Structure 1
Amino acid sequence: MGGRTEKTYLGKLKGRVPRDANLSIMVICQEGKEPETILRNLVRGETDLRAYDETWIVVDHDGADRRDFLARCGKVSKDSGSRVVGVVSVPCFEVWLNAHYEQVQNYRDQKDAQRHYERLTGLSGRSAKDLPGDFPFDRAVEAETRCTLRGTSVPGANARGPCPSTTMPHLLRSLGPLRAR
């Protein structure tokens, strides 16, 4: 997982997971590393995957073909006995953030999605990679239905969807905020 926005969101999300969920959650930021490198380091034993029921790697599409990375996550899951899931947001994580506010738009690229986020939040400049203090975490259920274009559904776990889309709802279901769905 890379950028500041993702780290902030996941850190705050961690604090919102119900205590009775009986989960131990660790957020590790690997800014600047390619998803394949992060996964390779996990497999090589820098982290004992068997110590965790699930490992989620949250990344942006960044114009790269992430299908091999996602397929490898599935293979590592099968080989290790621990669920490893790649979450890809196309074109970027702001797709998921924007969906908390309103239906995502047909973004041309990452900058387009980020401009939409700035317009929705009123943030700009350096603060544009932050979450506003009143970020609507409680709208995750609505975000699940708005994180793809109308008429398309959320891609499956370890799958890459069209632009725009994200597989973040799978992570939220696993953590609890969308579990009842």
Structure 2
Amino acid sequence: MAPRGGRRGGRSLKRTTGKRPELRTIVVFCEGVNSEPDYIRGLKKLPHVAANTALDLRIHPKQGVPLTLVKMAKEHKWDPEVDECWCIFDVEWPRNHPHLPEAVELARANGINLAISNPCFELWLILHYRNHSSFVDTDPAERLSRSMDNRSGKSIDADAYMPLRKEAAQRAQLLDARHEQDGTRFPHNNPSSGMYKLLREIEGE
């Protein structure tokens, strides 16, 4: 394991309030610029999250593919002020993102956590409203998601999703359990979303 190195300048990621201990710092890296960041910002606003976790959001400047996103996270992993690094990205169907196995292996080798949605983040949004257990391509998943919250663009109203996140997490866990039972492995575990794992860490559960 590589040694933890010091920060090369810039402001501290750690936050303190008076005599309170430093908050746990989680850095989340996103490939998208709309729905995923909107959702993370919604989580940041939750009082119990704000009280216990410094949630730092990083968006890839070129909306990079998963491998470039993991490489970006790798640059921050050994920052002594960072407790956890997470990458949020999609698999995409019918044409998968390139170099997915390499991205997963690089993350594993460097202790970077992944919240992968298959086929896309919109599947995670769908699970807030209902279960979805059948294979779905990216475009139909996006259309179904928009029909549920009636949004016209790609941005979401995160406040509308926050009260439903526990139900989404339960449904996502059931999908993972089904794939495990069936022996269905990544990237063929469509539909699925690892966002519930990120929520568990952010909310300290």
Same fold (TM over 0.5): yes
What is the TM-score of this pair, normalised by structure 1?
A: 0.77
- For residues 102 and 158 of structure 2, the distance between their equivalents in structure 1, rounded to whole angstroms, comes to 37
Instruction: Give 1 or 2: higher helix fraction.
Output: 1
Worse overlay, 64-73 or 53-62: 64-73
1:28/1:133 CA distance change after superposition, 3 Å: closer
Gaps (5+ residues) in structure 1?
78-83
1:22/1:143 CA distance change after superposition, 3 Å: same
Aligned length: 164
Contact 2:176 2:192 in 1 (8 A): no
Gaps (5+ residues) in structure 2?
1-29, 181-185
What is the TM-score of this pair, normalised by structure 2?
A: 0.69
Q: 1:27 aligns to what?
A: 57
1:113 matched to 2:141? The reply is yes
What is the aligned-residue RMSD (CA, Å)?
Answer: 2.7
Q: Which amino acid aligns with 1:60?
A: D
- For residues 20 and 6 of structure 1, the distance between their equivalents in structure 2, rounded to whole angstroms, comes to 18
Aligned partner of 1:70 among 101, 104, 117: 104
1:112/1:102 CA distance change after superposition, 3 Å: same
Q: 1:152 aligns to what?
A: 178
**Higher alpha-carbon Rg:** 2
Contact 1:60 1:89 in 2 (8 A): yes
Q: 1:142 aligns to what?
A: 167
1:46/1:172 CA distance change after superposition, 3 Å: closer
- For residues 20 and 26 of structure 1, the distance between their equivalents in structure 2, rounded to whole angstroms, comes to 11
Q: Which amino acid aligns with 1:104?
A: H
Structure 1 residue 161: deviation in Å? Answer: 6.3
